[in-house]
Amino acid sequence: MLAVEEINRNTKLLPNITLGFHIFNAYHKDETTLESSLVWLSGQGPTIPNYSCERQGKSIVVIGGATSELTISMGSLLELYRIPQVTYGLFDPFLSDPVQFPSVYQLAPRDTSLPLAMVRLMLHFKWTWVGLVASDDPRSEEFLRDLQEQMVRNDVCVAFIHKVFTGLTENNRYLFYFLNQLFFSTVKVIVIYGNTDSLLTLRFREVPSALVYRMWITSSHWDIAKKPGYVHFDNFHGALILTDQTSKIPGFKHFLKSINPVKDPENIFLQSFWNSAFGCTSKVGRVDGAVCSPNASLDTLRLSYLDITMSDQSYTVYNAVYAVAWALHEMFLVRSEMESNSNGNNSGAYPWKLHSFLKNVQFNNSAGNHLVLDKKKNSVANYDILNYVTFRNDSEVLVKVGEFISEAPVGQEFIIQQKAIVWPRKWGESERERKGIDRYVGRETETEIDKEKSLLSHTKTLESQISNTSSLDQCMKCPEDHYPNRERIHCLPKRVTFLAYEETLGMALASIAASFSLLTALVLWVFVNQKDTPIVKANNRDLSYILLLSLSLCFLCSLFFIGRPTAISCLLRQTAFGVMFTVAISSILAKTITVVLAFRATRPGSSSRRWVGSRGPISLVVFCTFIQVMLCAIWLLLSPPFPDADTHSDPEHIILECNEGSLIAFYSVLGYIALLALGSFTVAFLARNLPDTFNEAKFITFSMLVFCSVWVSFLPTYQSTKGKMMVAVEVFSILSSSAGLLGCIFIPKCYIILLQPQKNTKKFLKKNPIS
């Protein structure tokens, strides 16, 4: 408003032309932003794409884009008509691409020196343990990357990095997760950076001040300024803000005093803002609020409503209006065909014709600053360092305490008045004084945080660093076999851990393995003792002996996984497991095939009789096992497993484990066993109803179903665990699948042999099949 009024009074700029403006809402959503853009293009009537119903006062340029996201949303529609868009938000290198955004002009200076300015501030006060909070967008990502580089270069440690997501600003549990992390952190200084939308989380919540009593460093006071009616208004008291340097615009304060909706009743936007800011209404007779005073003035408003010193974004908007005006002025001077429209109807001023003039526009604003819109000539920002101070009477103020001049000589670019700074309340308080705070977080909140942690944990904590708090002049990384204590001031040695026989879990698994192995040996003894009975002879007793012997060894091979990993145990654990399980599953496959062949052999003249003997099935077992032995031999020759130490999965422990050497070989061994199991299950399922006296296909089908269920569940569980629990998962899978095979196939037979021997006769089985 100020810029337009000044331009219309200036006889040397756009003479005989009255400049006007329209204001459209952008709701920070793609669909509503596009809708506002479409309304602007079509006019106030029906929104018809590619048609304009506005006959007079048609705008030819858009000044907007407080954030890059808004600029991109508007540009998707405006670019179709090559309508210029001058942005007043923070400079974004992504928008400088002339191919993707040929119609976007950024007037804000480049903020490439902001990371250096912030690090200079940290170094001056010897702050070497700093947390970072930023919104999740490309510009913030680039800022974080540049800031971390500067911090590393100057020996400043990153305590944590927390990203704020725009879509989650209303999620209480997300806020609680951040506050919980903040509470348990020893960090005293936090940098906050990002777009206004995403950082609403940190300013629109009523949280106890003690939770956020830190030194906050930010680039915009809108991220931390108090919002009307909020109880905990001084959460960010004492914060330091690095804002773009602006020059005082002559007449701005007088302009603020002169503005009043009574003088401009058609300005609906001003009327709405006025009613909200002063808590009144301009309409007499309404009972929903007090009538606005005719003597009210904008220069009396709090900082949260209006920055009377003209903020950096307002300063950019002011310059953007002048840039457009000078571009129009040059266009009217150069193009004589538009002189006939100098009566105010600038229908000949088409938007796309303005580009060549905007690209080359140069002017001095009323403060005497020289400005250009050339994308290649954007100036580098200088910064004022402001101190944000709140008072008990619910007021707030920004006080300049220093500056950073990026192009000044080395040693003179940073100026700070330390005595003028008002520090955060309880600055430097001890952990003991803050112990009552966790009543706010509460046990219920912590439980919710733990549930949401897998979805909301986008924080990267540098756990391995400590800061020398005695001198605060350096930080260092702990050795790999050490970890920092809770206060991050000492490195403590990590404890060595593995699945040991001495601990409860290792002892339990070893006992179960030994017990099942003995039980299997006992079943084998029973079968050998009853070798001439019909049930033992059914389905090839030699295969039953091989299966029981392999199952007993399967239980025992799990012991290779327990205890301190050695070169021998690492070589044997997976290969022994793979070979033994292959023998067991191939024996079951041979037994299943025997069922099918036995049924076919009962037919007169069948050629299957010669395969029903023991030689054919045992040959199948030997062949299948030979393939697995070759796979394991190749694995051991090319990339054998070896003992290893994991120092990263657990911050306080060194996990001794076996490195598999080649994951491809490991999963090839498992895959081959799975292929045999699938074949056994398929054949047994198809043969389950064969009318054979000695058919055990139903038992085999069920046993293979249990086996496959265990190992299908094993894969995702194995991938999601680390350290000794990963070993425990594999041991448990070996034991449970082996026990499933033993129980489903042999327990029914042992029941008859031991408890109902009268049924273990050829005469009884012919009348009553066991299946």
What proportion of the chain, given as a percentage, has pLDDT over 90? Answer: 24
Residue 498 lies in a domain: no
Average of per-residue pLDDT across 654-683: 88
Classify residue 211 as exposed, middle or buried by CB count within 10 Å of its CB (0-12, 13-18, 19+): buried
Q: Are residues 60 and 159 in the same domain?
A: no
221 close to 398: Cβ distance less than 8 angstroms: yes
Q: Using the predicted structure, report yes or no on whether residue 482 has a pLDDT greater than 60.
A: yes
Q: Count each helix (H run) and each strand (E run) in the chain, helices first.
A: 20, 23
Q: Are residues 529 and 657 in the same domain?
A: yes
What pLDDT is stored for residue 580 in this prediction?
92
Q: Using the predicted structure, report yes or no on whether residue 335 has a pLDDT greater than 80.
A: no
What pLDDT is stored for residue 304 in this prediction?
63
Question: 445 falls in which pLDDT band (50, 70, 90)?
Answer: very low
Tokens in use for 565? 């990993």
Residue 455 lies in a domain: no
Residue 453 lies in a domain: no
What pLDDT is stored for residue 439 in this prediction?
37
**What domain range includes position 513?**
504-767
Question: 749 falls in which pLDDT band (50, 70, 90)?
Answer: confident
Greatest distance between any 2 Cα atoms in the chain = 123
Q: Which of 326, 341, 372 is the last residue of a domain?
A: 372
pLDDT digits (tens, 9 = 90+) for 627-654: 999 999 999 999 999 998 888 777 788 8
Residue 442 lies in a domain: no
Cite the DSSP H helix spans in 602-696: 615-638, 663-686
Q: Are residues 479 and 510 in the same domain?
A: no
Q: Are residues 299 and 316 in the same domain?
A: no
- The span from the CA of 620 to the CA of 635, in Å, is 23
Q: Are residues 93 and 36 in the same domain?
A: yes
Residue 447 lies in a domain: no
Residue 456 lies in a domain: no
Amino acid at 110: R
What pLDDT is stored for residue 45 in this prediction?
63
Q: Using the predicted structure, report yes or no on whether residue 528 has a pLDDT greater than 80.
A: yes
Q: Using the predicted structure, report yes or no on whether residue 575 has a pLDDT greater than 70.
A: yes
Q: Using the predicted structure, report yes or no on whether residue 135 has a pLDDT greater than 70.
A: yes
The CATH number covering residue 414 comes to: 3.40.50.2300
Least confident of 117-121, 177-181, 226-230: 226-230
Q: Are residues 152 and 180 in the same domain?
A: yes
Q: Are residues 61 and 98 in the same domain?
A: yes
Kind plus residue range of the DSSP H or E element containing 461? strand 460-461
Q: Are residues 704 and 654 in the same domain?
A: yes
pLDDT digits (tens, 9 = 90+) for 385-401: 999 888 877 778 889 99
Identify the residue whose tokens are 């391995």: 464
Average of per-residue pLDDT across 192-205: 60
184 close to 487: Cβ distance less than 8 angstroms: no
pLDDT digits (tens, 9 = 90+) for 594-634: 777 766 655 555 555 555 555 778 888 999 999 999 999 99
What pLDDT is stored for residue 289 in this prediction?
55
Q: Are residues 89 and 101 in the same domain?
A: yes
Report strand pairing: 370-372 vs 362-364.
antiparallel
Q: Using the predicted structure, report yes or no on whether residue 169 has a pLDDT greater than 80.
A: no
Q: Which residue has the higher pLDDT, 300 or 521?
A: 521
| Helix pair angle (541-557, 615-638), 10° resolution | 20
Q: What is the mean pLDDT of the chain?
A: 79
Residue 82 lies in a domain: yes
Q: Are residues 232 and 134 in the same domain?
A: yes
Question: 436 falls in which pLDDT band (50, 70, 90)?
Answer: very low
Q: Using the predicted structure, report yes or no on whether residue 175 has a pLDDT greater than 60.
A: yes
**How many domains does one find in the chain?**
5
Residue 499 lies in a domain: no
Cα 669 to Cα 420, 560, 581, 629: the distances in Å are 71, 17, 10, 10
742 close to 520: Cβ distance less than 8 angstroms: yes
| CB contact set of 216 (below 8 Å; sequence gap of 6+) | 190, 191, 192, 224, 236, 239, 240, 424
Q: Are residues 627 and 642 in the same domain?
A: yes
Cite the DSSP H helix spans in 246-362: 252-258, 268-278, 312-334, 355-360
| CB contact set of 352 (below 8 Å; sequence gap of 6+) | 81, 82, 83
Beta bridge partners of 646: 655
Q: Are residues 160 and 228 in the same domain?
A: yes
Q: Which residue has the higher pLDDT, 469 or 444?
A: 469
